[in-house]
Amino acid sequence: MDVSRRRHPFPWRAGCVSLGLLLLLSGCATVAERPAEPPDTAVIPELEDTEPDFYESISIYMSLGDPQAAIAAYEEARRGRPEDPRTRVLLSGLLLAAGQFETAASVLDAVLEAEPDNPDALFNRALLLGYDGETERQSELLHRVIERQPDNAQAHAALGENYLQRGRITQARAAFQTGLEYDPDNFVALVGLGNTLLRQREHQEAEKVLTRAVEIDPQYSFAWSDRGRARARQHNLFDAEQDLNRAIELQPDFSWHYVDRARVRAERRDFRGAIDDYTRAIALEPSVFLSYANRGRLYATVGESDRAYRDYTTALEMRPDYHAAFAPLGMLTFMRQEWERSAGYFRRAWQYEESQYGYPLLAALALRNNDDEAGARRYLNSVLNQLPRDTLYYDMARFYITPNVDSRLLRQIEQESNRMIKAQMYFLMGGHYELRGQNRLARTVYLQTEEQRLPQLIESQLATWALDQRYR
Q: What is the pLDDT of residues 284-322, one digit of tens each?
A: 999 999 999 999 999 999 999 999 999 999 999 999 999
Q: Is the pLDDT of residue 85 over 50?
A: yes
- Give the model's pLDDT for residue 92: 80
- Asked if 288 and 279 touch (Cβ cutoff 8 Å), the reply is no
Instruction: Return phi, psi of residue 239, to 5°.
Output: -65, -35
- Give the model's pLDDT for residue 52: 41
Cβ-in-10-Å burial (0-12, 13-18, 19+) of 123 comes to buried
Q: Report the 10 Å Cβ neighbour count for 371.
A: 11
Cβ-in-10-Å burial (0-12, 13-18, 19+) of 2 comes to middle
The larger pLDDT score, comparing residue 59 to residue 422, is at 422
Give 371's pLDDT tier (boundaries 50, 70, 90). Answer: very high
Q: Is the pLDDT of residue 37 over 80?
A: no
What percent of the chain is modeled with pLDDT above 70? 82
- Give the model's pLDDT for residue 68: 67
- Give the model's pLDDT for residue 99: 79
Q: What is the mean pLDDT of residues 59-85?
A: 59
- Give the model's pLDDT for residue 97: 75
Which of the residue ranges 59-73, 128-142, 258-272 has the most confident prediction, judged by mean pLDDT?
258-272
> Which residues neighbour 467 within 8 Å (Cβ) at sequence distance 6 or greater?
443, 446, 447, 450
- Tens-place pLDDT, residues 190-206: 999 999 999 999 999 99
Q: What is the pTM of this model?
A: 0.80
Q: Tell me the longest C-alpha to C-alpha distance in the chain.
A: 103
The larger pLDDT score, comparing residue 90 to residue 332, is at 332
- Asked if 220 and 213 touch (Cβ cutoff 8 Å), the reply is yes
Assign 388 to helix, strand or coil. Answer: coil
Q: Minimal CA–CA distance to 361: which of 421, 428, 419? A: 428
Q: Identity (one letter) of the amino acid at 405?
A: V
What percent of the chain is modeled with pLDDT above 90? 72
Distance, CA of 466 to CA of 472 (rounded, Å): 9
- Give the model's pLDDT for residue 178: 97
Distance, CA of 133 to CA of 162 (rounded, Å): 10
Distance, CA of 142 to CA of 14 (rounded, Å): 12
Distance, CA of 377 to CA of 374 (rounded, Å): 5
- Give the model's pLDDT for residue 72: 67
Q: Identity (one letter) of the amino acid at 142?
A: L
Q: Minimal CA–CA distance to 145: which of 180, 118, 111, 168? A: 118
Q: Is the pLDDT of residue 455 over 80?
A: yes
Q: What is the mean pLDDT of residues 251-274?
A: 97
Half-sphere exposure of 356 (CA within 13 A, CB side): 18
Q: Read out DSSP for 312-364?
A: HHHHHHH-TT-GGGHHHHHHHHHHTT-HHHHHHHHHHHHHH-TT-THHHHHHH
